[in-house]
Structure 1
């Protein structure tokens, strides 16, 4: 079953689904600055556009472009800056 989610007053929208091996979601972010929290570890894959990210425990922002990915630990918060509409795939667990 699909789960449609909307965050930050509609600036981030995603559709959650059960992937082959683990839960996942696909979504799009509008330009803006966001803070996300994780429950379980996540792998974020940038599908289109770019995400500039400040990961937990880091002092440096890093930009991830389409075709790249980054890992976020479980039970953590991370910052994201988006300059153009960006699509992503998130794998949980």
Structure 2
């Protein structure tokens, strides 16, 4: 059985991403204004067909926006079959 967890702990998020080869990124052309480059994502470059759509950013910039937007990180550690999962999404902090 796979279960989801939710956090806004920066170190926990960085550790989860690093274990899967993930890096902080933004989706190009989704920001809606000149001062907002786009929607936050964790990008997995080794498994991505959408490299052109994503711009890698520093963790510091990622977490600044993450905290300003009061987001939580909803994620799954393992799939039902036990394989590492890359499932994640950003949700409003409760």
Same fold (TM over 0.5): no
TM-score, scaled to structure 1: 0.30
